[in-house]
Structure formats: structure tokens, C-alpha cells
Amino acid sequence: MPAAPSSCSDVILPGATLGILGSGQLGRMFAQAAARLGYRVHVYSPDADSPTGQVAAAATVAAYDDIAALQKFAASIDVVTLEFENVPTTAVETLAQFVPVRPAGRVQHVVQNRVREKRFLVAAGVSCTPFVEISTGAALAEAADSIGFPSVLKTAESGYDGKGQAHINSLEEATAAWQALGQAPAIWEGWVDYQREFSVLVARSPAGALAVHGPLANDHVHHILDVSAIPHPALAPHAAAAEEIACRLATAFDLEGLCCIEFFLTTAGELLVNEIAPRPHNSGHLTLEACQTSQFEQQVRAICNLPLGTGEIIQPAAMVNLLGDLWQSGEPAWEAVLADPRVRLHLYGKTTPRPGRKMGHLTVLAETAAAATQRALAARARLTGGS
């Protein structure tokens, strides 16, 4: 879908200072994209020597509920965006009194809670997994009757990368899983038989311009994204429908910024929206090399109300994550992958590798996405002495 022309009003031009809440790798790559366009980035988070702080022009290290620090931060920036959706609402609401927050707090409010998110999807006329809100033991029995098994029980808030969720095959397992979650508010979702997981990135500017990247095919290991690739032949027939859904949701949100829509393509050929993330996404890291405009530059353009770029693919590509597990036997053999001119290495500046922690990624461009995936996996294997 071509981007609509941007209004000249409320444009934040290069030379301005962009604020970001959160200081991980997404903020790091946002800051690098912003600097290339001539912006300064000021990051706010409780973490010192963070991935974003290492490359930003300025950093405020303070708690998200430190009102005085937030007010001082607001005075130094022209607009602020989010690196992750679970930033405490106190920070967003405080900053919104002084500067534009993009995406706005209403978007964050929806996606911070899985039940609200599902209800938003239903109201927008978008298909999603069947679900029941769980707040009492009686609701568990009702969900078992209405949805059945297998299913997934998830915390309503704060879960990611498989944390805070359990596969369940009986009411007894569901009861035990809910008790393990501390009987916190939860959501019961029906299991989906799917042939592919994929994502679409959608940007929307304050002027209402829309632009998309994807669809990006995603493979997970232990609930953590392992490989993303573009383009994928199985997704081509569904690209237009997925793009329409992404743009519909961005408009319904009145989104200002960038958003990732995660989909299931079911075995029956139906598109179901799984989750929404109002920020750049791990699956979109390959856009740095594979697309005319990366997801991070698009985020900058969108929050500044500049004309949006295009997600047009330059060349098929694949990305593989580098988790902290790779460090278990010592420092990975970086020279083994850098010797391959087609491999692009991205490290996030994190000093402490832990199993499951995202430490970096590799991207490979090739003649096809399948060839890029094979080469990227082989390159990662060489990091620990594989071939």
C-alpha cells in the first residue's frame, strides 16, 4: 500500500532530539537510525551502560516513576517513543503532559493486557484465537467446556518469549498452571493448528500515512524467535490480506509510530492475529539490510511525521538470533562468520550473556530466502565450532 502524503504541520525536522523509553537493543538500533538522519536521541531507563545508552547522544538513568527526572527529561526532547510496551503508565502519562508520546498511551493500555488486546481485535473485526478471560476458578471450568483442549493459559499481563504461559490438556493441568501463576488474571486461548507464524510491520504517521514491511516468516525455538526470512513463498498468497489487516488495526488504534502484528496462518488457510507489539520487532531486524527502509528508520520517520519510506525488498534475506547460550563454552568465534562477506553481524553491547538472552543477530542476503536461511544457520554454527 503506498504511503499517503504527509502533512507539513507538526513535522519534527532533523536536528531535533528524540526521546525513547527503554534502553535495550531496539532502542540501540533506533538511535543509530535516528543519528543517520541527523537527529539526537536521549534515552530514559533505570539501566546504566545500556545497549541504547552506549550509542545515544544523552542518557537519563532513573526509575520510571521518578516524576522529577521524567519532567527534566521531557524538557530536553521534542517527541518520545517506546522501546517496549510494558513501560509503566506513570512514565507515559507524565511525559504526555509535556511532549507528544508516539504511540500514545491508549495503544499501550490495550496491548499491555492480553484480554483487552483480544477484545480490541474482535471490535476491529479481525479474527483471533478463541479466548476466555480467567479471573476465578469457575472461569477455568467454563473455558474447558467452551474451548476445550489442547489450549494455552497465559498471564493477562507481562508475559513474553513464552514466559507466563503453559500448554494445558486437562482441567487439572489448567488449575495447576493457574495456581503456578499465582492465580493472577489470565487468558485461556484455544490451540491453533498453524502452518506458519509470520509478522507484518505497519507504520502510521500523525498525518495518517501508512506503510508496511512483510510478511516476514518466523520460526521459534522454546518460544523465542530463532529465524526470520523474507520473502516466503507460502505467504505470498496471503500478503495482501495481512497488509489490509495490519493497516486496519493501525487506523483503529490511531497509531502514531510503528507496530508489529503477529499472525498465524492456519492449516485451513485462515489468518489469525496472535499479538500486537507497538514498537519495532525482533523479526524486523533483517530490514536493516533487506529493505529500502529499515523498521528503525521507519519508526523515526513515523514519530517525526516525515514522509514514510518503503518496505520494498532489495534482496531476499534471513536473520538468526544469537542467544547467550552461544557463550557457554567461551567467547564465540566471531572471525569465523566475519570471514563470510555475505554475513552481517550485529551485537547489542550486552556485557552478561545468559541462556535465552538476546545478545545479537546475524543477517544474510542471498538469491532466495531459503538460501539465506541455510547460510545464516551455518554461519551461527561456526561460532561454536560447528560446520
pLDDT recorded at residue 8: 45
Q: What angle do the packed helices 137-146 and 171-180 form, to 10 degrees? A: 140
Around 309, how many Cα atoms within 13 Å sit in the side-chain half-sphere?
23
Identity of the residue numbered 201: L
Say how far apart CA 79 and CA 16 lie, in whole Å: 9
Say how far apart CA 96 and CA 105 lie, in whole Å: 8
Q: How many C-beta atoms surround the C-beta of residue 178 within 10 A?
A: 22
CATH 3.30.470.20 range(s) for the chain read: 194-382
pLDDT recorded at residue 6: 41
pLDDT recorded at residue 5: 39
pLDDT recorded at residue 334: 97
CATH 3.30.1490.20 range(s) for the chain read: 130-190
Q: Are 318 and 365 in contact (CB under 8 A)?
A: no
Q: Are 228 and 162 in contact (CB under 8 A)?
A: no
pLDDT recorded at residue 163: 72
pLDDT recorded at residue 189: 96
pLDDT recorded at residue 164: 82
Could you tell me the mean pLDDT of each successive run of 10 residues in the chain, 387 residues long? 48 98 98 98 97 98 98 98 93 97 95 96 96 95 95 87 84 95 94 96 98 98 96 97 98 97 97 97 98 98 98 98 96 95 97 96 98 98 88
CATH topology of domain 130-190: Dna Ligase; domain 1 (3.30.1490)
Sign of CA dihedral 311, 312, 315, 318: positive
Domain 17-111 has CATH 3.40.50.20: yes
Cell of 273: 492475529
CA dist list (Å): 294 to 21, 32, 48, 100, 203: 20, 11, 27, 23, 11
CATH number attached to the domain at 194-382: 3.30.470.20
pLDDT recorded at residue 387: 66
CATH 3.40.50.20 range(s) for the chain read: 17-111
Strand-pair partners of 126: none
pLDDT recorded at residue 3: 47
CA dist list (Å): 1 to 259, 264, 285, 296, 332: 16, 21, 21, 19, 42
Cα R_g (the chain), whole angstroms: 21
Which residues are CB-neighbours of 27 under 8 A, at least 6 positions away? Answer: 20, 41, 43, 45, 50, 51, 52, 56, 83
284 secondary structure, DSSP code:
G
Strand-pair partners of 44: 21, 60
